[in-house]
Amino acid sequence: MSPHMSKSELPVMEEFYSLQGEGAHTGSAAYFIRLGGCDVGCHWCDIKESWEASDHPLQNVGSLVSATQSCKTKIAVITGGEPLMYDLIELSSQLGTAGIKRHLETSGVYSLSGEWDWICFSPKKFKVPLSEFYKKSQELKIIVFNRSDLEWAEQQAKKMNDEAALFLQPEWSKEKEMIPLIVEYVKNNPKWRISLQTHKYLNIP
């Protein structure tokens, strides 16, 4: 992140109106704001073009809020990349003032900034997350790339607050292999739920 970057401007890879495809709010209409920049380095990431922040133009926070307001939804999903590479106080404040519910998707490797109605915390093995996210997040989403990820998921779940929803999501390229494994695991460990990338089945953004 540039030290001179104003918090009123953020690098935006894309913004679009669609349905939330994953996790606790699957099926809900939402306006997505995908910020550029990520240094977590998931080898299976399906949006590696988001990694380099300088590839994406800076946009004014006010214009992002206006675009969200132009849609009928009252949910904005701030995702990435890793959105918490940036100070999100201004964005979350303006969205809140506009009466829009603020959903954040993060790996939890940078300090939390801004006020959020829902935090989807998706920690990765590649970079250790900060402990604050286990306490403050409403949702834990673990991407399952192989069987050993289930054991790692349990380690993460033990650190979570009692109210958090727990999701296991098959990594898309391993979907056919991992879904039967996750289905059986959830049946045996019903504190978990399965999350599918339903937007890919529906062929929507």
Is 3 part of a structural domain of the chain?
no
The model's confidence at residue 2, banded by pLDDT at 50, 70 and 90, is very low
* Mean pLDDT, the chain, whole residue set: 95
Question: pLDDT per residue over 80-127, tens digit each?
Answer: 999 999 999 999 999 999 999 999 999 999 999 999 999 999 999 989
CA–CA gap between residue 123 and residue 146 (Å, rounded): 15
Question: pLDDT per residue over 16-36, tens digit each?
Answer: 999 999 999 999 999 999 999
Is 103 part of a structural domain of the chain?
yes
Is 131 part of a structural domain of the chain?
yes
The per-residue pLDDT for 3 is 41
Sheet with 58-60, strands from edge to edge, namely: 58-60, 9-19, 29-35, 75-79, 101-106, 118-121, 139-144, 165-170, 192-194
Is 1 part of a structural domain of the chain?
no
Is 124 part of a structural domain of the chain?
yes
Is 192 part of a structural domain of the chain?
yes
Q: What is the CATH number of the domain that holds 147?
A: 3.20.20.70
CA–CA gap between residue 14 and residue 66 (Å, rounded): 15
Is 2 part of a structural domain of the chain?
no
Is 15 part of a structural domain of the chain?
yes
Domains identified in the chain, total number? 1
Residue 1 has pLDDT above 60, yes or no: no
Model confidence, pTM: 0.95
Domain of 166, in residue numbers: 9-202
CA–CA gap between residue 9 and residue 3 (Å, rounded): 12
The per-residue pLDDT for 6 is 52
